[in-house]
Chain A
Amino acid sequence: ARPGSVLHPPGPVLHPPGPVLHPPGQALLCTPPTRPGPALYSTHQARPCSVLHPPGQALLCTPPTRPDLVLHLYSTHQARPCTPPALPSQDIRNTVGNIPMEWYQDYPHIGYNLDGKKIFKPIRNKDELDEFLDKMENPDYWRTVHDKTTASDIRLSDEQVDLVHRLQKGQFGDVNFNEYEPSVDFFTNEVMIHPVTNRPQDKRSFIPSLIEKEKVSKLVHAIKMGWIKPRKPKETTPQYYDLWAKEDPNAILGRHKMHVPAPKMRLPGHEESYNPPPEYLLTEEERMAWEQQDAEDRKLPFLPQKHSCLRAVPAFSRFIHERFERCLDLYLCPRQRKMRVNVNPEDLIPKLPKPKDLQPFPTTMSLVYIGHSSLVRSISASPTGQWLVSGSDDCTVRFWEVNTGRCMKTLEVGGAVKSVAWNPNPAVCLVAVCFESTVLLLNPGLGDRLVVSSTDQLITSYEPPEEDKEQAVTWALSEGPEHDNGHRLTLTHPKAVKQVVWHGKGDYLASVMPDNSSNLQVLIHQVSKRRTQNPFRKNKGLVQCVSFHPLRPYFFVATQRYVRVYNLIKQELTKKLMTNCKWISSMAIHPGGDNLICGSYDCRLAWFDLDLSTKPYKMLRHHKKALRGVAYHKHYPLFASGADDGSVIICHGMVYNDLLQNPLIVPVKVLKGHQITHDLGVLDVTFHPTQPWVFSSGADATIRLFT
């Protein structure tokens, strides 16, 4: 290597001032004295480093006797002696024997001489450039070989080269060896009259062998018994391996085989003949007709003509034209079989049981409850199933007898009724009605007299507590004519109330006052103690509807997009359900308490399995317009949804006790009957508490019973 040269392909060289060594794979920076800028060498061209040193390091040595060779960086596996090569002993011989020479690879010497001194390897400081120059210039380069045992180059003599040539040709190494010498027979093939042994044959060689006889008789017996069967004759018909036997015809390669042969041309018939039978010749009229026809409509593309002899037949003028059309036909017409996937549309539909196996469910409209004069916002059935209460925008609350459709009672209230709810406790006869900012508790006086009177007693038996706490609403007891009308308690809220809902036990009542800007949106009232509390400190969005869990102390709050489940005892958020809806309109809890349905204004109904996930278990998009009301049946596996398209859809929603089985949801019936008024159809749906019947109230001021 020439120090100072900038680029050294093998084995990088470092220049005197400030060599900087970097970890492997990084660059090597050196500043040659003659050049102002640093040169950057990549070390990844450097050979792999020695095992003796940590990888990436190198051996740095400064030969003292070679001031021109200022600094050499030797990769240790091609390490060279650091001493100047002043004593190149010519009689290097192998003193180590036939050992793997890699053992001495990393040493500057190979073996030891008789004095116990190291025998150093001759210096090999040739780089590939030198090697190349050597190859170009040295005429003996071709006969120079490297001897690994002594690590020296040896020039082969003429005899040695000759021997190599002979061996390469496959000849014997020895020139004097004759491989075609005549052969000499050492042993004779002739029968001798005096053999080496002349022993007479044994007696047993004349006597049949008993052992063999036994074996043969065994075989014969086996053949007789059919244990051994004759070999099957080999099939003489040649068998070929069918390369394409298992090939899938639908595979890409298989498609190429789906060749559709081009249609063959019709062979010429009598009309093409030069002398056709007279019936093939066209009459004058036919000829006229033929000429008037379009070329595509003609039955024959030519006119049959009669010639006296074959010699008189002229050249066919349309020949080129016809050939050209044929060619066009052959190459323009796509002759391939089209692979169509025939999917039976029935297979795409999930396997669901037939609706008729899921009876009973409501199928026909049976009764229409007529009496309201404006849209009926809300309905609720009494726990016995004998009565129905409805609240309407005409500021009345009506009580109906379910099985006849008779309006038993009409109560005027001071505003459009937003929501009604019949107390689910059969021992209490109370109906909560909300209009404007008032929640009214009514005693309709229907049903058992004892229950009616005990309800009144329950309300009047209230004793006010000693310290009067400030409450969000004011409780007022109705008296006088209002009391005779059935009014019992009036809860005046600070804001407009949209929904009232009872707890299953019938003592607690929740009211919703949607308001985007305050935390006072939901209030829970206790009727027996006339107490009101606001369960939420923070505003989590516009509350749409709330509901109590039928069994456990949970409280469901539906905001525009989420349903939050709160534990009322621990006072914490238990779950937050993402509905994937734009705006929730209604919500219903399964009587088992583990499932929930949400109707939304964007025509969707989401079924949640609370044990499964916070995402909907199923989204149903059966309605054409916004959903307004959803309901579960208390006993039958049914749920219903009413929408602005005027229809009520009944679905079978079976919830299994087995936790591993997901709920089965089958739409079973679309019930129509409500007229669409002002773009509003069905506003509320509710099920009869004992029968598989559904009530729906609509914007057409009617309530309908489907059975």
Chain B
Amino acid sequence: MSQLQTRFFTDNKKYSVDDVPFSIPAASEVQELSNVINKLLEAKNGSHSQIEFDFLVRGQFLRTSLSNHMEAEGISTEDVVEIEYVERFTAPQPEECMMHDDWISSVEADSEWILTGSYDKTARIWSLEGKAVMTVAGHTDVVKDVAWVRRDGLTSLLLTASLDQTILLWEWNSERNKLKARHCCRGHAGSVDTIATDPTRTKFCSGSWDKMLKIWSAGTIGLWVVWYSVLNWPTWLNKTEEICSASWDHTIRLWDAETGSVKTTLTGSKVFNHISYSPLCRRLASGSTDRHVRLWDPRSKDGSLVLLSLTSHSGWVTAVKWAPSHEHQLVSGSLDNLVKLWDTRSCKTPLYDVSAHEDKVLCVDWTDSRLMLSGGADNKLYTYRYTACETDAGA
């Protein structure tokens, strides 16, 4: 069994090779397979430059030698093996390190600006290049979460939620660099730990230690609906009328934003720290205290159904975030000081471990503009540049 019959294929027309079975050594690993593809492409196209590829056998990334992988996955070695290859996702390159005065509790970036919330009771606005633009001071206690609401030209609306039980809505003009507090949302009887804006950017939802999930209308601030649950981490699904919340009572609940009723309850066994929804693959990713990142299908009605567990962290997973432009990738931050970049097609090992932080990672985010961000208890906000494969964008 030293040779295997394989057939290579790819979705990317640029790198496609002839659909002919090849006989390759069974012990070959990713690097050797990548060389084979590069040789083939060179033979086809003289001007081809060396590219690193990653290989998928039946939807799973190849991480060991081909024979070991097939044995583990229980794939017959008699038939011709179909191997898909994609351009390798290159390691994210550290770009900037933004120093804060205190722990960074939250980060949200859009295409131009980065908004961070910190334990020094302020939020900060940074440019993507790492220049401090604005300090949002107004809370009397730790800022726990921040969010961009919308941008109309140069004015932006942003939200900060704090331990002082209020949420502040700010209006910021980036040209004049003027900040104006528009509203103070009072109503929670506990520290507001998390906020989420809906995709239409007109409403937002906040979760608090008073076991409430509150929906606010961002246009005219007013209390929408109040529900009962334990410390919620809400996230909006792409449809405006659905909210998903992960909670310390070990459940993920799907709420109907119109009526305020629970549509589905997914029950886990451990406390959920964070949840993220990807409109691309329509999956939920949850980070929980048992060190796993779990993927859920919000459409499943019958409760606890874990699609996949991504297991590699050695501490609580404090933050998860789906890639905005890739349906398989997500990033997670953990109390073990690591940020991990995952591809759901390789659930045993992450694509990359980013070990820039010297203390607990508390928040992660990434933007459409190929920037990954992570902040933590070492007062540093790191940004990483990554190159997304063109084909994966919008796939």
The answer, yes or no, to whether A460 is at the interface (CB within 8 Å) is: no
Task: State whether A707 and B165 are in contact (beta carbons under 8 Å apart), knowing that A366-B335, A691-B271 are contacts in the complex.
Answer: no
Q: Are B210 and A404 in contact (CB under 8 A)?
A: no
Contact A450 to B248, CB < 8 A, known contacts A366-B335, A404-B360, A404-B377 = no
A138 close to B (CB within 8 Å)? no
If A360-B269, A405-B360, A449-B165 touch, whether A707 touches B189 (CB-CB below 8 Å) is no
A448 near B210 with CB under 8 A, answer yes
Chain A nearest CB from B120 CB (Å) reads 12
Does B94 sit at the interface, judged by CB under 8 A?
no
Tell me the count of chain A residues lying within 8 A, CB to CB, of chain B.
19
Residues of A within 8 Å of B360, CB to CB, are 404-405
Q: Could you say which residues of chain A place their CB within 8 Å of the CB of B209?
A: 384, 386, 447
- Please report the C-alpha to C-alpha distance between residue A272 and residue B273 in the assembled complex, in whole angstroms: 90
Measured between beta carbons, the chain B residues less than 8 angstroms from A384 are 190, 209
Q: A386-B209, A403-B273, A690-B248 are in contact. Are A448 and B316 (CB under 8 A)?
A: no
**Cβ of B311 to closest chain A Cβ, rounded Å:** 13
B105 to chain A, nearest CB (A): 8
CB distance from A54 to the nearest CB of B (A): 91
Cα distance, A311 to B79, chains bound together (Å) = 86
Q: What's the minimum C-beta distance from B143 to chain A, rounded to whole angstroms?
A: 13
Render A679-691 as a binary contact track against B, CB cut-off 8 A, 1 for contact: 0000000000011
In the complex, whether A335 has a CB less than 8 A from a CB of chain B is: no
Is A326 part of the binding interface, using a Cβ–Cβ cutoff of 8 Å? no
Indicate whether B344 reaches chain A with its CB closer than 8 angstroms: no
- Tell whether B103 is near chain A: CB-to-CB under 8 Å: yes
Per-residue CB contact flags for chain B residues 267-305 toward chain A (1 = under 8 Å, else 0) read 001110100000000000000011100000000000000
A386 contacts B273, C-beta separation under 8 Å: no
Provided the pairs A384-B190, A448-B189 are in contact, do residues A366 and B289 lie with their beta carbons within 8 angstroms? Answer: yes
Cα separation A406 to B142 with both chains bound (whole Å): 11
Question: A404-B362, A406-B119, A690-B248 given as contacts; is B377 within 8 A of A450 (CB)?
Answer: no
Cβ distance A510 to chain B, nearest Cβ, rounded Å: 29
The reply to whether the CB of B25 lies closer than 8 angstroms to some CB of chain A is no
In the complex, chain B residues 78-134 whose Cβ is within 8 Å of any chain A Cβ: 103, 105, 119
Determine if B164 and A449 form an interchain contact, defined as CB atoms under 8 angstroms apart.
yes
- Measured between C-beta atoms, what is the minimum distance from B229 to chain A in Å? 13
Mark each residue of chain A from 422 to 454: 1 if its CB lies under 8 Å from any CB of chain B, else 0. 000000000000000000000000011110000
List of B residues within 8 angstroms of A449 by Cβ: 164-165
A residues within 8 A CB of B248? 690-691
Residues in B with CB closer than 8 Å to A691 are: 248, 271
Task: Output the nearest chain B residue to A450 by Cβ-Cβ distance.
Answer: B189
| Cα A161 to Cα B382 with chains together (Å) | 141
Q: How far is the CB of B337 from chain A (nearest CB, A)?
A: 12
Decide if A367 touches B164 in the complex (CB within 8 Å).
no
Residue-wise interface mask of A (363-394) relative to B, using a CB-CB cutoff of 8 A (1 in contact, 0 not): 01011000000000000000010100000000
Q: Taking A404-B360, A406-B103 as contacts, is the C-beta distance between A366 and B316 under 8 angstroms?
A: yes
Chain B residues with CB under 8 A of A447? 190-191, 209
The CA of A691 and the CA of B190, in the complex, are separated in Å by 18
Give A448's nearest chain B residue, CB to CB: B189
Q: Which residues of A contact B105 (CB under 8 A)?
A: 404
Instruction: Kindly state the separation between the CA atoms of A406 and B121 in the bound complex, as whole angstroms.
Output: 14
- Closest Cβ of chain B to A484, distance in Å, is 14
- Bitwise, B202-238 to A at CB < 8 A (1) or not (0) is 0000000110000000000000000000100000000
Question: Within the complex, which residue of B190, B230, B289, B318 is in contact with A707, where a contact is CB–CB below 8 Å?
Answer: B289
User: In the complex, which residue of chain A has the Cβ closest to the Cβ of B289?
Assistant: A707
Of all chain A residues, which has the CB nearest B105? A404
Residues on the B chain within 8 Å of A406, using CB: 103, 119, 142, 377
Q: How far is the CA of A707 from the CA of B316 in the complex (A)?
A: 9
Residues in chain B near residue A386, CB distance under 8 A: 190-191, 209
Residues on A with beta carbons closer than 8 Å to the beta carbon of B269: 359-360
CB distance from B317 to the nearest CB of A (A): 11
List residues 600-638 of chain A with CB under 8 A from any CB of chain B.
none
Residue on A nearest B193 in the bound complex, by CB: A403
- Interface flags for B247-274 (1: CB within 8 Å of A; 0: not) read 0100000000000000000000111010
Beta-carbon contact of B335 and A367 below 8 Å: yes
- The CA of A449 and the CA of B139, in the complex, are separated in Å by 14
Q: Given the complex of chains A and B, what is the CA–CA distance between A364 and B290 in angstroms?
A: 9
Contact with B along A479-494 (1 / 0, CB 8 A): 0000000000000000
Beta-carbon contacts under 8 Å, A649-707 to B: 690-691, 707
Closest residue of A by beta carbon distance from B249: A690
Chain B nearest CB: distance from A269 CB in Å? 57
Within 8 A of A (CB), among B352-395: 360, 362, 377
Nearest neighbor of B315 in chain A, beta-carbon distance: A366
Interface readout for B174-192 with A: 1 if CB under 8 Å, 0 if not? Answer: 0000000000000001110
- B-contact 0/1 string along A141-163, CB 8 Å cutoff: 00000000000000000000000
Tell me the smallest distance from the CB of A414 to a CB of chain B, in Å.
27
Name the residue among A367, A690, A707 with the largest chain B CB count within 10 angstroms. A707
A421 CB, nearest partner CB in chain B, Å: 21
Nearest B residue to A360, CB-CB: B269
Instruction: Return chain B residues, CB-CB under 8 Å to A366.
Output: 289, 315-316, 335
Nearest neighbor of B316 in chain A, beta-carbon distance: A366
Alpha-carbon distance between A164 and B171 when the two chains are bound, in angstroms: 149
Q: Which chain B residues lie closer than 8 Å to A448 at the CB level?
A: 165, 189-190, 210
A400 CB, min distance to chain B CBs, angstroms: 13
By beta carbon, the residue of chain B nearest A408 is: B142
Given the complex, which residues of B lie within 8 Å of A690, measured CB to CB?
230, 248
Q: What residues on A are CB-neighbors of B119 within 8 Å?
A: 406
Complex Cα gap A691–B288 (Å): 13
| B139 CB, min distance to chain A CBs, angstroms | 13
Question: Which chain A residues border B191 with CB–CB below 8 Å?
Answer: 386, 447
Task: Quote the shortest CB–CB distance from A449 to chain B (angstroms).
Answer: 6
How far, in angstroms, from A387 to B165 measured CA to CA in the complex?
A: 15
Contacting A at CB under 8 A, from B14-58, are none
Q: Once bound together, how far apart are the Cα atoms of A389 and B248, in whole Å? A: 21
**Minimal beta-carbon separation of A447 from chain B (angstroms):** 7
Complex Cα–Cα for A408 and B105 (A):
13
How many whole Å from A647's CB to the nearest CB in chain B? 20
A448-476 contacts to B, CB under 8 A, are: 448-450
Most A C-beta atoms less than 10 A away, residue of B289, B362, B377: B289
Report the bound CA distance from A581 to B316 in whole Å. 40
Contacts of B142 in A (CB 8 A): 406, 408
* Residue numbers in B under 8 Å from A359 (CB-CB): 269
Complex: A403 Cα to B360 Cα, angstroms: 11
Task: List the A residue with the shortest CB-CB distance to B103.
Answer: A406
A448 to B189: give the CA distance in the assembly, Å: 5
B residues near A405, Cβ cutoff 8 Å: 360, 377
Contacts of B270 in A (CB 8 A): 360, 707
A364–B360 Cα gap in the complex (Å)? 16
Tell me the B residues contacting A by CB distance below 8 Å. 103, 105, 119, 142, 164-165, 189-191, 209-210, 230, 248, 269-271, 273, 289-291, 315-316, 318, 335, 360, 362, 377
29 A–B contacts from the bound complex (CB under 8 Å): A360-B269, A360-B270, A364-B291, A366-B289, A366-B316, A367-B316, A384-B190, A386-B190, A386-B191, A386-B209, A404-B103, A404-B318, A404-B360, A404-B362, A404-B377, A405-B377, A406-B103, A406-B142, A447-B190, A447-B191, A448-B165, A448-B190, A449-B165, A450-B189, A690-B230, A707-B271, A707-B289, A707-B290, A707-B316
Return the 9 tightest CB-CB contacts between A and B, nearest first.
Answer: A448-B189, A707-B289, A386-B209, A366-B316, A448-B190, A449-B165, A691-B271, A366-B315, A406-B103
Interface residues, chain A, with chain B CB atoms under 8 Å away: 359-360, 364, 366-367, 384, 386, 403-406, 408, 447-450, 690-691, 707
Given contacts A404-B105, A690-B248, A707-B290, 20 further A-B contacts (CB under 8 A): A360-B269, A366-B289, A366-B335, A384-B209, A386-B191, A404-B103, A404-B318, A404-B360, A404-B362, A404-B377, A405-B360, A405-B377, A406-B119, A448-B165, A448-B189, A448-B210, A449-B164, A449-B165, A450-B189, A707-B270
